[in-house]
Structure 1
Amino acid sequence: MRIVFFGFQRWGTETLEALLDSGHDIPLVVTHPPSRNPADNLWAASVADLAERWRIPLVECRYANAPELCARIAALQPDLLVLSNWRTWLSPKVCDLARHGGINLHDALLPRYGGFAPINWAVANGETQTGVTVHRVEDELDLGAILLQEIVPIHPRDTATDIFQRTLPLFASLAIAAVDALAQGTARFTAQDASQATFFHKRGEREMRIDWSLPVRDIHNLIRAQSPPYPAAFSTFAGQRLELLGASPAPRDYRGTPGRLLCTADGVVVLCGPPGPQGLLIETVATEQHPAMPARQFFAGCSGYFD
């Protein structure tokens, strides 16, 4: 098929490379400009470099709705637009320039977890599964009819990084399967149930700060959701910011005031909120001055409270 590709970073390069290796004709690649925002570079890979290696014409832009770009796409007479980690709204008028319209790959089981950082939100919310969805690009973001989905389990100790590594290969395989189905005329789209849709915003520092009044389960999930290289979940202790890189529910039933630090036979424990057992076993921490270190090494005194 003749495909105009829109993509960015690691998800984009994986998808584009799969399409190229499968022999599809890609006369134009559109990507976002390089970003100085650390959040945009957690899984850095260059769609632009890949297009250059294949000698494919390239456009870099933040938004792809400009008349000049539309005219260029129309002149190419594409069969399909494929989006993979394209981060801004694409007008239906652009998708209408392709015979089959546009499809997008999203790392969640739509209609739930539309929007931003779906893996991190799913882990933080204690979900037991997520996945990757291929859907039609329509006017409302992440609400287009679904073509393909594949489920990925989330195990109790999985981190967001584990789930990223587990979902990433699906971008390539599902993109190829979707394009093949459209080419062969076997594609069947299913409308999303908008009443079941959830849409999440970008995560920032507020979403990473630990609230010790929450139950152990919720705080453990937050720490898993912010695993390296994502910015870590954090709190303050003795006046300094402390990142929590690894933790697990304590093996025994500790109770008391949320935020209280205890040194126990099990290790360094912080008390969380009710209901149920309140102990969270802190395994690995980091400060601005010191990279990852065992919690026992940092907490020499074993007294005091987290803020």
Structure 2
Amino acid sequence: MRVIMFGYQTWGHRTLQALLDSGHQVVLVVTHPKSEHAYERIWSDSVADLAEKQGVPVLLRNRPDDEELLRSIERAEPDLIVANNWRTWLPPEIFDLPPHGTLNIHDSLLPAYAGFSPLIWALINGEREVGVTAHRMNAELDMGDVVLQRSVPVGPTDTATDLFHRTVDLIGPIVTEALDLIASGQAVWTPQDTSRSSFFHKRSLEDSRIDWSWPAEALERLVRAQCDPYPNAFTHHRGERIRIVSAAVSEGRYGGTPGRIFIREGDGIVIVAGAEARSGRLPGLVIRRVRTEDGTELAAADYFRTMGGYLTARP
């Protein structure tokens, strides 16, 4: 088949490599220009560089809304478009143009976690598995019929980085298998159960800010979800922002006001957490390592030399 690829960052790079290795003909690649957005500087293998090395024509676009792009797609006469991590909506005059439509590769187990940063949101929410879905694109973002899904388990200490590496390795096999099914006419398209769908926005700085009214279990997952190289979860101490690099749920149960710097436990410092912390029946968050604004990383016990005072969402 003649294939056009829309994609960006490492997800798009893995998709393009799978297409180049598949025996199908990649006739055009459309990707975004480089970005300084914090989340787009991470996992930033260049789709454009890979395409150019293989002699595949490349178009750079922020949005797919110009006539030149549409004419280029029409001239390429694709049998199929494959998209992965294209950051804006594709219009129907593009996604419906090829005879086989557009296959979108999304890093969640749809219909849950449509939209952006699905691995981070899934980890924060305590999901037991994550994965990759290949589905047909339609007018509703990430809502088209599914042809393939593959999943991996989430372990109790997994970080977003661990889950990225585990799921990005699914992209090549799922792209290859989906294209074989489509080309052979054996693809079975299953409608998504919209009653189970959820849609998430792009993450920003605000989403890494710690809210001490969250239960400790959720805060511990937030720290793992915002591990390096992602922007770390952060809080404020005496007006200065500190990033939480490593944390755990306390063994003991601690009562009081959320955000209180309370007591040593093991190798860390317990912070009272949870909207119902006043009951004394909830665990706290044990902070183990912090990073200051100048990039210095410290054991929490070395940073918090005295107990008392509060960690706050804002200075």
TM-score (norm 1): 0.96
Tell me which residue corresponds to 1:45. 45
Tell me which residue corresponds to 2:153. 153
Q: Higher mean Cα deviation, 220-229 or 291-300?
A: 291-300
Tell me which residue corresponds to 2:255. 255
The two structures, once aligned, show a CA RMSD in angstroms of 1.4
Contact 2:242–2:290 under 8 Å retained in 1: yes
Contact 2:252–2:283 under 8 Å retained in 1: no
Matches within 5 A, 1:158-307: 158-266=158-266, 267-273=268-274, 274=276, 276-307=281-312
Code of the aligned partner of 1:269: V
Contact 2:250–2:265 under 8 Å retained in 1: no
- Mapped partners of 1:66, 1:50: distance in 2: 24
Code of the aligned partner of 2:19: L
Quote how far apart the aligned CAs of 1:66 are.
2.2
- Mapped partners of 2:15, 2:265: distance in 1: 49
Contact 1:123–1:160 under 8 Å retained in 2: yes
Map Cα deviations across residues 243-296 of structure 1 (whole Å, 9 max, x no partner).
Answer: 111101112233332211134242311111236433211111101113322112
- Mapped partners of 2:23, 2:29: distance in 1: 15
- Mapped partners of 2:78, 2:122: distance in 1: 35
Contact 2:132–2:170 under 8 Å retained in 1: yes
Code of the aligned partner of 1:57: P
Q: Higher mean Cα deviation, 159-168 or 71-80?
A: 71-80
- Mapped partners of 1:264, 1:95: distance in 2: 57
- Mapped partners of 1:159, 1:292: distance in 2: 19
Q: Higher mean Cα deviation, 17-26 or 100-109?
A: 17-26
Tell me which residue corresponds to 2:96. 96
Quote how far apart the aligned CAs of 1:210 are.
1.0
Task: Structure 1 unaligned segments of length 5 or more: list them.
Answer: none
- Mapped partners of 2:70, 2:258: distance in 1: 56
- Mapped partners of 1:293, 1:79: distance in 2: 55
Contact 1:92–1:137 under 8 Å retained in 2: no
- Mapped partners of 2:76, 2:265: distance in 1: 68
Alignment of 1:135 onto 2:135: yes
Task: Structure 2 unaligned segments of length 5 or more: list them.
Answer: none
- Mapped partners of 2:22, 2:142: distance in 1: 26
Map Cα deviations across residues 160-181 of structure 1 (whole Å, 9 max, x no partner).
Answer: 1111111001111111111011
Contact 1:65–1:94 under 8 Å retained in 2: no
Alignment of 1:83 onto 2:88: no
- Mapped partners of 2:296, 2:55: distance in 1: 41
- Mapped partners of 1:14, 1:285: distance in 2: 34
- Mapped partners of 1:76, 1:207: distance in 2: 41
Code of the aligned partner of 2:217: R
Quote how far apart the aligned CAs of 1:143 are.
0.5
Q: Higher mean Cα deviation, 24-33 or 262-271?
A: 262-271
SS in 2 for 1:75: helix
Contact 2:105–2:132 under 8 Å retained in 1: yes
- Which 4+ runs in 1 deviate beyond 6 A? none
Counting matched residue pairs gives: 307
- Mapped partners of 2:2, 2:207: distance in 1: 42
Code of the aligned partner of 1:164: F
- Mapped partners of 1:180, 1:3: distance in 2: 13
- Mapped partners of 1:264, 1:230: distance in 2: 28
Tell me which residue corresponds to 1:34. 34
Provide the identity percentage.
45
Quote how far apart the aligned CAs of 1:114 are.
0.6
